[in-house]
Amino acid sequence: MLWHFLSILVATPLGLTSPVSPRWSDLQVKHSWPNVPRNWHCEGPAPEGTTIDLRIGLKPHREDALVEALHEVSDPAHEKYGAHLSKAQVAALVAPHPDTVDLVHAWLDHHGVPASSVSPSHSGDWLTVSSVPIDQADALLGASYQVYRHAETNETLLRTVGYSLPAALHAHVAVVAPTTYFGGPRAWRRTSHLTPNGRILPDGDAHIQAEIAKLQARPGSLATVPSSCGSTITPSCLRALYNTSTYTPAATSKNTLGIAGYLGQFAIHTDLKTFLTKFRSDAAAANFTVVKVNGGEDNQNDPGIEANLDIQYAESISFPTPNIYYSTGGSPPFTPDDNTPTNTNEPYLDWLDFILAQTTIPQTISTSYGDDEQTVPLDYAQSVCTLFAQLGAQGVSVLFSSGDSGVGSDCVSNDGSNRSMFIPNFPATCPFVTAVGGTTGVNPEKAASLSSGGFSNYFARPSYQSTVVPSFISSIGTQFSGLFNTTGRGFPDISAQAENFQIVVSGRTEGVAGTSCASPTAAAVISLLNDFLISQGKPPLGFLNPLLYSTGTAGLNDITSGSNPGCNTKGFTAVKGWDPVTGLGTLDFGKLQAIVG
Q: Please list the residues that pair with 31 across neighbouring strands.
A: 163
**Residue from 155, 306, 353, 531 carrying the catalytic annotation:** 306
Close Cβ partners of 116 (under 8 Å, ≥ 6 residues apart): none
For position 22, what pLDDT does the model report? Answer: 75
CA dist list (Å): 187 to 263, 332, 404, 496, 516:
9, 18, 9, 17, 7
* Burial class of 446 by CB neighbour count within 10 A (0 to 12, 13 to 18, 19+): middle
For position 2, what pLDDT does the model report? Answer: 43
User: With left for phi above 0 and alpha for psi between -120 and 50, is residue 507 left, alpha or beta?
Assistant: left
DSSP 8-state assignment for residue 96: P
Closest by CA position to 334, among listed 157, 562, 559: 157
**Residue from 310, 350, 493, 558 carrying the catalytic annotation:** 310
Q: pLDDT per residue over 371-381, tens digit each? A: 999 999 999 99
Distance CA 262, CA 292 (A): 11
Closest by CA position to 349, among listed 262, 479, 448: 262
For position 426, what pLDDT does the model report? Answer: 96
Please list the alpha-helical segments (H only) found in 45-149: 65-74, 87-94, 98-110, 134-141
For position 218, what pLDDT does the model report? Answer: 56
Distance CA 243, CA 405 (A): 29
Q: Is 531 a catalytic residue?
A: no
User: With left for phi above 0 and alpha for psi between -120 and 50, is residue 521 left, alpha or beta?
Assistant: alpha
Domain extents in the chain: 27-76+88-182, 229-332+343-596
Buried b / exposed e across 400-411, counting CB within 10 Å, b at 16+? Answer: bbbbbbbbbeeb
Distance CA 153, CA 592 (A): 43
**Residue from 516, 519, 527, 563 carrying the catalytic annotation:** 516
Distance CA 499, CA 591 (A): 25
Distance CA 191, CA 177 (A): 32
Distance CA 226, CA 210 (A): 10
Distance CA 52, CA 501 (A): 41
Q: pLDDT per position in the chain (597 positions), as tens?
A: 444 444 333 333 444 444 445 789 999 999 999 999 989 999 999 888 899 999 999 999 998 999 999 999 999 999 999 999 999 999 999 999 999 999 999 999 999 999 999 999 989 999 999 999 999 999 999 999 999 998 988 888 899 999 999 999 999 999 999 999 998 777 776 544 434 444 566 666 766 666 666 655 554 444 578 889 999 999 999 999 999 999 999 999 999 999 999 878 999 999 999 999 999 999 999 999 999 998 899 999 999 999 999 999 999 999 999 999 999 986 555 665 554 456 666 888 989 999 999 999 999 999 999 999 999 999 999 999 999 999 999 999 999 999 999 999 889 999 989 999 999 999 999 999 999 999 999 999 999 999 999 999 999 999 999 999 999 999 999 999 999 999 999 999 999 999 999 999 999 999 999 999 999 999 999 999 999 999 999 999 999 999 999 999 999 999 999 999 999 999 999 999 999 999 999 999 999 999 999
> What is the crossing angle of helices 347-356 and 378-393, to 10°?
20
For position 341, what pLDDT does the model report? Answer: 53
User: With left for phi above 0 and alpha for psi between -120 and 50, is residue 293 left, alpha or beta?
Assistant: beta
Distance CA 359, CA 18 (A): 35
Q: How many residues does the chain have?
A: 597
DSSP 8-state assignment for residue 446: E
Distance CA 513, CA 450 (A): 9
CA dist list (Å): 327 to 19, 74, 258, 311, 343:
44, 29, 11, 12, 18
Q: Is 588 a catalytic residue?
A: no
- Class of 229-332+343-596 per CATH? alpha beta
Sign of CA dihedral 206, 210, 216, 220: negative
Q: Is 68 a catalytic residue?
A: no
Phi, psi of 71 (to 5 degrees): -60, -45
Phi, psi of 462 (to 5 degrees): -75, 155
3-class SS of residue 31:
strand
Q: Please list the residues that pair with 508 across neighbouring strands.
A: 505
CA dist list (Å): 120 to 72, 165, 293, 407:
28, 19, 18, 40
